[in-house]
Chains A and B, each alone.
Chain A
Amino acid sequence: MHIDTVALLQSLGLMWKGMLSIFAVILVIYLVVTIMLRVTANHKENKPQE
């Protein structure tokens, strides 16, 4: 069986770069959402009771 080592290395490069990019985006979204949840929770707590 012939294995195209260039393509194999490309696919492995795609794997780590792809997963890194996905997790980078996910982590930033996670951080922003966490901050938003905290901010909006504090905002609710500080709101005077009507």
Chain B
Amino acid sequence: MDFILDGIRQFTWQQGLMMIIGAVLIYLAIKKELEPSLLLPMGFGAILVNIPLSGAITQSLQGIGDVTGIVEWLFHIGIEASEAMPLLLFIGIGAMIDFGPLLSNPKLLLFGGAAQFGIFMTITFAVLLGFDIRDAAAAGIIGAADGPTSILVSQVLKSKYIGAIAVAAYSYMALVPIIQPMAIKLVTTKKERAIPMPYNPKSVSKTTRILFPIIVTVIAGLVAPTSVSLVGFLMFGNLIRECGVLRALSDTAQKDLANLITLLLGITISFSMRAEQFVQLETLLIMALGLFAFVFDTIAGVLFAKLLNLFSRKNKINPMVGAAGISAFPMSARVVQRMGLQANPTNHLLMHAAGANVAGQIASVIAGGVILQLVPLLLG
């Protein structure tokens, strides 16, 4: 009857810790509603894969050989082999994005670019902490504030910390309403936060809306060909939305496809939350680096807006709009709107911030593609 005790005998404190972490993720998802669609499956998956001899991961059975576990299989097929899951999710995200506020004021694109600086600051900082360039780049990409991009880049770069990176990326995205106000207040005065920005949108033709995703894909692809799958799938989703003749497909991409992939992505990522891989000091460092990246992205966006204000006498930009250049949509735009109203009750920044926010979505996938282009060159 020894077999009954096999599982209990092999239980380690690290697995117990991972189960507690899984329970905390489930708690945060249900009680605090922090990115529940991702954190709940990841939390439950963390429990699944850390049960000793778990059938959810591949086990070698005496006399039979290897028996494939479903979570491990999903990870190999959906993420490791082709990065299919994060990429397919991009179709859904692209179909959800309305680039209208950005197209009516294309200058906002610049904020999306500036707010990626934290990624590269973090990479340098991670290198100083002793991470190799591959893991440093994977940690830095958490600053893209874009879960699928973080997963994809860390996977392509074969980082050991994909689990920690996914947890950090999604946790911090959910914590944007707490992290960003602190970072914004560090580098702005109340007077700057109260700068009014009237909203005079230019009309955007349907042709522009249709051509935009195609043009972005071609331009990004020519500069960073490795970004084609990332940018291309995001823009493919957007083209389906904007073309006007694929309403049913657009609805499916926005709802069914995005929900289905999200459901599977969380539990699949949990494969990289096995105790032997996750419970180590570096995991905590990765989480800290992710926070660093988020804060510096926000600060870089704000400082860039302040820099532009130095060259503009009229039509000053509220520097908080720069902070919305990170990819966390629409949380970041909402934070800026709320803080703008706190500083000046007549100041409505939502549409400017939303434009910068969708610019951040484009810039974050470009940043991911650029990193995938440059890091392999450094590795020789």
Contacts and interface: CB of A to CB of B under 8 A. Distances in A.
Interface stretch (B116-124, B155-163, B239-247): B116-124
Contact of A22 (B103, B116, B203, B207): B116
Contacts of A15: 120-121, 123-124
Interface residues of A, number: 32
Contacts of A29: 106, 109, 215-216, 219-220, 362
Contacts of A34: 106
Nearest to A32: B215
B152 to A, nearest CB: 16
B367 interface: yes
A7 B208 contact: no
B113 A11 contact: no
B257 interface: no
Nearest to A20: B370
A33 to B, nearest CB: 4
Given A11-B124, A37-B204, A26 B119 contact: no
B95 interface: no
Given A26-B366, A36-B208, A14 B120 contact: yes
B371 A18 contact: yes
B202 A37 contact: yes
A8 B127 contact: yes
A10 B123 CA distance: 10
Nearest to B208: A36
Contacts of B363: 22, 26
B212 interface: yes
Interface string B354-376: 00000100110011001101110
B89 interface: no
B136 interface: yes
Contacts of B212: 33, 36
Interface in B235-291: none
Contacts of B130: 2, 4
Closest 3 CB pairs of A and B: A15-B120, A40-B205, A26-B113
Given A22-B363, A37-B204, 11 more contacts: A3-B128, A18-B119, A19-B116, A21-B366, A22-B370, A26-B363, A29-B106, A34-B106, A36-B207, A36-B212, A36-B215
11 contacts: A3-B128, A10-B127, A14-B123, A14-B133, A15-B123, A21-B224, A22-B116, A25-B219, A30-B107, A30-B109, A37-B106
